[in-house]
Chain A
Amino acid sequence: MPEVEIPQSVRAFIDQRIGSIFQLEVLLLLHRNPGRDFTAEDVAHELRIEPSWAALCLAQLQAGGLLVAAEGPPLRYHYGPRTADLDDTTNQLARVYSTHRVSITAMIFSKPPDPLKSFADAFRLRKDTLNG
């Protein structure tokens, strides 16, 4: 089965730091362009997603130590993992994603929902929840 070929470090990385396909795509976009600063608008344009979702992903990735933020406004981010290990694992993830896209996607979708997200969602009174 394809899942066997995904290294444990990548699995742990996804488990702990990647909550959605959006986050993964944003991370890999910045990882592909290491020297370049991105704003949320830039990311939204490249990936064809809502700028507000792009902004949230960028902020979360930065909080997770994968991106570095430069002074705004508007806030700009570039790829800058806090440790060499994170860099290694992100490189691995980029390689594995290019060859095993379906497996990685399935892994992300089969994660149990983040308890914190469930907590925040519990306070939405209306049913039409737009996921950030």
Chain B
Amino acid sequence: MAETVYILCSLTSILCAVLLWRGYVRSRARLLLWCSICFIGLAVNNVLVFVDLVLLPNVDLLMIRTLVALAGVLALLYGLIWDVQ
């Protein structure tokens, strides 16, 4: 069950990243670039959680998981602060 959830979360994140990237290409609005990067970070984070729980149960990946998510959300914050008019 948990595994399915993390896969679903990864797929949703990837979908958002793709849609936002496509939107960025169309509109050239930089906000969408940062949002896309954030969702890529969240996607990788969710994949790493899956790897952490299922594939490598004896290794704690929390540090790298957190770093990746943090990088994504910081990119998002940068865009939300500077690139909304």
Contact = CB atoms under 8 A, between A and B. Distances in A.
A115 B19 CA distance: 14
Contacts, number: 41
Main DSSP-derived SS at the A contact region: helix
Interface string B27-57: 1011110010000000000000000000000
Interface string A13-26: 00110000000000
B19 A122 contact: yes
Interface residues of A, number: 13
Interface residues of B, number: 15
Contacts of B29: 112-113, 115, 118-119
* Interface pairs A-B: 10 shortest CB-CB: A122-B23, A118-B27, A118-B29, A115-B31, A115-B29, A122-B19, A122-B20, A115-B84, A113-B27, A123-B19
Interface of B: 19-20, 22-24, 26-27, 29-32, 35, 83-85
Interface of A: 15-16, 112-116, 118-119, 121-123, 125
